[in-house]
Structure 1
Amino acid sequence: MSTSGATAQDSTWKAKEQSQEAHYIHQREQAQLEAIRLERADKVVRNKASEEKHTMDKDFEGGFGGQEDLEDRYATTSGEH
Structure 2
Amino acid sequence: MSASGATAQDSNWKAREQGEEARYIHEKDQAQLAAIRDQLNEADKAHPASNTASTQDRDFEGGFGGQEDLEDRYATTSGEH
Structure 2: 5+ residue stretches without partners:
51-81
Larger Rg belongs to: 1
How far is the alpha carbon of 1:44 from its aligned partner? 0.2
Structure 1: 5+ residue stretches without partners:
53-81
Q: Which residue is equivalent to 1:21?
A: 21
The 1-side partners of 2:37 and 2:24 are apart by 20
Give the TM-score normalised by the residue count of structure 2: 0.59
Give the TM-score normalised by the residue count of structure 1: 0.59
Give 1:31-46 correspondences, 5 Å limit: 31-46=31-46
The 2-side partners of 1:21 and 1:2 are apart by 24
How far is the alpha carbon of 1:43 from its aligned partner? 0.2
Q: Which residue is equivalent to 2:71?
A: none
Residues paired across the two proteins, number: 50
Q: Which residue is equivalent to 2:4?
A: 4
Identity of aligned residues (%): 54
Q: CA RMSD in A?
A: 1.4
Q: Which amino acid aligns with 1:37?
A: R
